[in-house]
Structure 1
Amino acid sequence: MLLDWITVLALIGIGLLLIIVELIFVPGTTVVGVAGFILTAIGIWIGYAALGTATGHIILAATVLIGGVAFFYSFRSDSWARFALKEQNKSHVNEEYQHTLAVGQEGRTVSALRPQGTALFNDLHHEVQTQGEFLAPSTPVRIIKLTQNKIIVEAIS
């Protein structure tokens, strides 16, 4: 009799724990939530089979009550807020270099530009772009256009 109670409580407890893990940590419906539901259902079924119908009803009601209270309390108390993203990334590409470069400045490609790649200006690496042409590594280039997040270059002939 004691072993039946331990089995029922262990299955229901592990099942509810897996369902809570599913809700908090694992997005969507996955194996964790399904396994938790199955373990909870098996625990309730064993409660009915081994401990009788009246005790099974009590176990079912207690399980539904505990699960509902845990679900309600987790939303009500904002305990999920610690898992939410609260910060925003407000930076831009090449933001720290936009005032150090100028149109007409010359440099050299570090990688092949197909049409994007890396070039070296003032001993600093920058992501640059051509107007569609291919440039091999170590090609001398000149800046022809600067926008907020793009550096457009051309080969120096």
Structure 2
Amino acid sequence: MTVEIIIIVCLILVGVALLLAEIFLLPGITVAGIAGGVMMVGSIVYAFYYVGPTTGYITIAANIVIGVGAFIFVIKSNALDHIALKTDIESVVEQPEIQKLSVGQKGIALSRLNPIGKVEFNDESTVEAKSVTGEFIDAGEWVEIVHIDKSSVLVKISATDQV
């Protein structure tokens, strides 16, 4: 009976460790997460089958308590601080073409704005623009600038077909 208890405890501990590695270290659903879940369920099945129902119910409770406890411990500890990315990206891509544009200026869509695409203004400035309403604008349609930010241009379909 002692060997069965040791096997159950090992299955629980390895299963919890693999699930924690899956959650905090490995992106997506990988073999570690699946193996961890299988080991935790396997510890319950093993306890019911080889030891008895009382040990099986205790194993269910132990899986829950140890799993939640380990999760909370990892969250509260400083372990994640050592691997977490702490830098902020504050740089911006300079777009001098946008600085030449003004609200109300008209241009022609070079590609379909779906809702973002390329628009040409004054036969010289080609910028990436976004439809202000989110509607699709086909290539070749005339558009008008509604709003300009540092890095984006919002346009709508122009009421007139001339620049």
Q: For this structure pair, what is the TM-score category when the shorter chain's length is used for normalisation? A: 0.5 to 0.7
Name the residue aligned to 2:70.
70
Deviations 1:119-148, CA, capped at 9 Å, x for gaps: xxxxxxxxxxxxxxxxxxxxxxxxxxxxxx
Q: How much does 1:9 deviate? A: 1.3
Structure 2: gaps (5+ residues)? 93-163
Name the residue aligned to 2:32.
32
- TM-score, normalization by structure 1: 0.52
Identity of aligned residues (%): 33
Name the residue aligned to 2:21.
21
Name the residue aligned to 2:125.
none
Aligned residues: 93
Q: How much does 1:90 deviate? A: 6.3
- TM-score, normalization by structure 2: 0.50
Deviations 1:87-119, CA, capped at 9 Å, x for gaps: 246689xxxxxxxxxxxxxxxxxxxxxxxxxxx
Distance in 1, matches of 2:46 and 2:8, equals 6
CA RMSD of aligned residues (A): 2.2
- One-letter amino acid matched to 2:37: F
Q: How much does 1:85 deviate? A: 0.8
SS state at 1:66 partner: helix
List aligned pairs for 1:1-157, cutoff 5 A: 1-88=1-88
Larger radius of gyration between Structure 1 and Structure 2: 1
Distance in 2, matches of 1:13 and 1:59, equals 12
- One-letter amino acid matched to 1:66: I
Distance in 2, matches of 1:77 and 1:10, equals 23
